[in-house]
């Protein structure tokens, strides 16, 4: 049986994703419309007035945690980002010719600069369901995912940021990970460049949660802590002075 889907429609691009699934069946089957309706993927829309930069939001996060009753968190101790490169250009997890935006991040990233001093390269409990990664750990995780989701030299996917690739691509840079579930930064060009998208073991990047930027993700996280409301299906709380998250049933 062959199933053909038109997916990934984007109003700012002439590109359209065509997905073809082929699997064996017991015998001949006639033509049948399995699904007729709008594509599952709706591209993010710009949200005017949103705070994008990380640096101005970091003190607000620290204040939100204190006001929420958190007394024990490495967030209070993280120094401001340094001006030096975050990793060496010959990092063992980097391929010989990495995507240009990835090279740019090595030389300057407020987000990754904040977590550069975390001893293990992983900070848990800040984003529910994930460990926040230093750039070193992000590159190592990226290399592992590229190998695990090997699309081969002939792999084809849209070059427009925000469009699902249905696999892990070199232009995805993990910012957080736990047990194979990731939040990735989309380094492809376009209006949605550097957006953040959830990447899952089964569905990959198809119809997953997204934010316009790492700053938007951080702002949503702060608001959840300030108001005691849900963030991506998790409710914040405290235990022994630490921030904890409870998955909403």
Question: What b/e readout covers 204-242, taking b as 16+ CB neighbours within 10 angstroms?
Answer: bbbebebbbbbbbbbbebbebbbeeeebbebebeeeeee
Does residue 34 form part of some domain?
Answer: no
In this structure, is residue 24 part of a structural domain? no
**Are 234 and 246 in contact, with CB atoms under 8 Å apart?**
yes
Domain that holds residue 163: 57-247
For the chain, where are the alpha helices, taking DSSP H only?
57-68, 100-107, 110-114, 135-148, 214-227
Rounded Cα distance, 126 and 76, in Å: 12
179 is written with which tokens? 């047990």
Domain presence at residue 61? yes
Domain assignment present for 120: yes
The DSSP annotation for 167-184 comes to: S--TTEEEEEEETTEEEE
State how many domains the chain has: 1
139 within domain boundaries: yes
Predicted local distance difference test score (pLDDT) of residue 81: 60
Q: Is residue 35 part of a domain?
A: no
Q: Tell me the pLDDT of the chain (249 aa) as tens digits.
A: 565 544 444 343 334 445 565 656 667 766 655 443 333 334 444 443 333 578 888 899 999 999 999 999 999 988 766 555 566 666 777 776 677 767 666 655 788 888 888 888 899 999 999 999 998 899 999 999 999 988 765 468 888 999 999 999 999 999 999 999 999 999 999 889 899 999 998 889 987 889 999 999 999 999 999 999 999 999 999 999 999 999 996
User: Could you tell me if residue 51 is inside a domain?
Assistant: no
Q: What is the pLDDT of residue 71?
A: 96
Which helix (H) or strand (E) segment holds residue 132: the answer is strand 131-133
Q: Is the pTM of this model over 0.85?
A: no
Q: Is residue 1 in a domain?
A: no
């Amino acid at each position: 049986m062959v199933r053909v889907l038109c997916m990934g429609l984007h109003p700012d691009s002439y590109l359209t994703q065509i997905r073809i699934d082929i699997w064996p069946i017991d015998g001949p089957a006639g033509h049948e419309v399995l699904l007729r309706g709008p594509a599952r993927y709706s591209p993010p829309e710009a949200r005017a007035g949103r705070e994008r930069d990380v640096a101005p939001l970091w003190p607000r996060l620290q204040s939100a945690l204190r006001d929420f009753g958190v007394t024990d968190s490495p967030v209070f101790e993280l120094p401001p980002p340094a001006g030096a490169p975050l990793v060496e250009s010959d990092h063992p997890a980097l391929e010989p010719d990495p995507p240009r935006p990835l090279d740019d991040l090595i030389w300057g990233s407020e987000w990754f600069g904040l977590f550069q001093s975390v001893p293990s390269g992983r900070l848990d409990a800040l984003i529910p369901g994930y460990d926040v990664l230093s750039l070193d750990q992000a590159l190592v995780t990226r290399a592992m995912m590229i190998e695990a989701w090997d699309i081969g030299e002939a792999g084809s996917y849209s070059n427009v940021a925000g469009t699902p690739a249905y696999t892990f691509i070199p232009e995805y840079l993990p910012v957080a990970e736990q047990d194979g579930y990731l939040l990735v930064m989309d380094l492809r060009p376009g209006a949605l460049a550097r957006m953040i998208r959830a990447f899952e073991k089964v569905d990959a990047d198809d119809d997953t949660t997204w934010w316009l930027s790492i700053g938007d993700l951080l702002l949503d996280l702060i608001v959840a802590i300030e108001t005691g409301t849900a963030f991506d299906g998790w409710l914040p709380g405290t235990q022994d002075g630490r921030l904890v998250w409870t998955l909403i049933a």
